[in-house]
Structure 1
């Protein structure tokens, strides 16, 4: 080695062995306390995202999400940015980095279509969730990668288990829930859901519960169709499964029904 190389060696050794760089910046290295800091940092990023929640009812599932308006000057997009359709029987809500979510949503849609093309039947809900979580977990196990900074709430139906609600986080872990939430004020939302949830609630009651929880946990003091998104999965009288992303008018009608509409919008209606 040259004199310059030898002079730089102590700095290189320090960089490689320093606790701040060796364990906190590396995705695949456990800290002395047994922690993966990059995964924890991804979870922390999600805790600053808009709240998203899901509630499982007897006859369907409701997903609701907070759409954060960062500036009054920003032109509002009419399309959903927190709720997405995965296939004919599944939808999801996201909290975290939208760019990361788009990659995973495209992967899930392709996996669902490949399964449908191969077996001529829609993929079971948990199997699609597991495939997505396997991908997310892989990004915590290989060097040069970082975890996806997004959590999902999945709502779907299949013939084996009927209506199902799942949640997953950047570590690749997932679980089934009766009611759950992710994002900002998650602890408060979980506490409210735990208090108000009823095993025998129907889809209409679940929608009312969702909007009330959002009204108590969102940073905004008033609710409007520009600040929240709603979607439902249900079954028609003919037994056909449907998913529905709510329009602004439908959301405002729900807010008025529960006395939560923004005053000026309620007056104009």
Structure 2
């Protein structure tokens, strides 16, 4: 029945559905998992990197978690090219707001701007929806720490903890069981790692398969700070929670020599 109504984004089916939008959401459900958890002192984003081939050169830059502005970071699931386009748009909007008002853009307002763009792509002929969902983690003075999720239709909603991408149903069930309203940032990082360990196809976790980021307040300036974890920080986090794969002696020695000084290390153990 859908064959008559799924060729355009502007054509509703008799049931009132836009099939092209639903197809975009289906594409996202096959992408790598991305988890967002709101804590009382920060927000955690964690994402699964899909390693398609052992021969592929691994990029050192993040491919699923991005800094949008000083007070907002984002995690994506879906088509990477679409995500890059939306991330660039979001960064431009955040900088325009900063130039106009000399203040960081509120998290919900940036989510609304992107959702306006997404919704426009479901309204005009000759366009297709963006095949990507986004988690926005940020801080502003009015609402403090926040976590939002938007999908290809242009809808967005606020969450305490949520998941997008592959096995999101299983991840959501785990979050419902283990999430607490007074959870701290350290517990949230452990919970995110635990959820990914249960939903990923891999038998063990390491920094080649994961991305982590947090947004917290600097204790001295009281300004939000977004941090995207480096590979050795991710490995330390996984070891702390007993989720890292065993290392051979040579790799362990190399990791020990390349570990950062205590003052430079990410706040994984504090």
Taking structure 1 as the reference length, the TM-score comes to: 0.91
Output the CA distance in 1 between the equivalents of 2:73 and 2:235.
22
Which residue number corresponds to residue 251 of structure 2? 268
Q: Secondary structure of the residue that 2:52 maps to in structure 1? A: coil
Unaligned runs of 5+ in 1: 1-17
Q: Secondary structure of the residue that 2:104 maps to in structure 1? A: coil
The structure whose Rg is larger is 1
Q: Secondary structure of the residue that 1:156 maps to in structure 2? A: strand
* Kept in 2: contact 1:52–1:183 (CA 8 A): yes
* Kept in 2: contact 1:256–1:266 (CA 8 A): no
Unaligned runs of 5+ in 2: 253-270
Matched, 1:45 2:27: yes
Which residue number corresponds to residue 240 of structure 1? 223
Which deviations, in whole Å up to 9, do the C-alpha atoms of 1:62-82 show, x marking residues without a partner? 000000100000010011000
Output the CA distance in 1 between the equivalents of 2:58 and 2:208.
8
Structure 1 residues 230 and 31: alpha-carbon distance in aligned structure 2, compared to 1, 3 A threshold: same
* Kept in 2: contact 1:112–1:122 (CA 8 A): yes
Trace 1:28-177 onto structure 2 (pairs within 5 A).
Answer: 28-177=10-159
Which residue number corresponds to residue 5 of structure 1? none
Which residue number corresponds to residue 183 of structure 1? 165
* Kept in 2: contact 1:224–1:252 (CA 8 A): yes
Counterpart among 209, 213, 235 of residue 191 in structure 2: 209
Which residue number corresponds to residue 259 of structure 1? 242
Output the CA distance in 1 between the equivalents of 2:97 and 2:217.
23
Q: Secondary structure of the residue that 1:220 maps to in structure 2? A: coil
Supply the RMSD in Å over aligned alpha carbons: 1.3
- In the TM superposition, residue 86 of structure 1 has moved relative to its aligned partner by 0.3
Which deviations, in whole Å up to 9, do the C-alpha atoms of 1:41-74 show, x marking residues without a partner? 0000000000001000010000000001000000
Which deviations, in whole Å up to 9, do the C-alpha atoms of 1:131-166 show, x marking residues without a partner? 000000110011100000000000000011000000
Output the CA distance in 1 between the equivalents of 2:98 and 2:152.
27
Structure 1 residues 84 and 265: alpha-carbon distance in aligned structure 2, compared to 1, 3 A threshold: farther
Output the CA distance in 1 between the equivalents of 2:28 and 2:249.
32
Output the CA distance in 2 between the equivalents of 1:25 and 1:232.
41
Q: Secondary structure of the residue that 2:247 maps to in structure 1? A: helix
Higher helix share: 1
Taking structure 2 as the reference length, the TM-score comes to: 0.91
Output the CA distance in 2 between the equivalents of 1:266 and 1:215.
24
Output the CA distance in 1 between the equivalents of 2:223 and 2:11.
48
- In the TM superposition, residue 264 of structure 1 has moved relative to its aligned partner by 2.6
**Superposition misfits of 4+ residues, deviation over 2 angstroms:** 264-269
Output the CA distance in 2 between the equivalents of 1:61 and 1:265.
33
Output the CA distance in 2 between the equivalents of 1:161 and 1:19.
42
- In the TM superposition, residue 265 of structure 1 has moved relative to its aligned partner by 6.0
* Kept in 2: contact 1:181–1:189 (CA 8 A): yes
Which residue number corresponds to residue 228 of structure 1? 210
Structure 1 residues 86 and 32: alpha-carbon distance in aligned structure 2, compared to 1, 3 A threshold: same
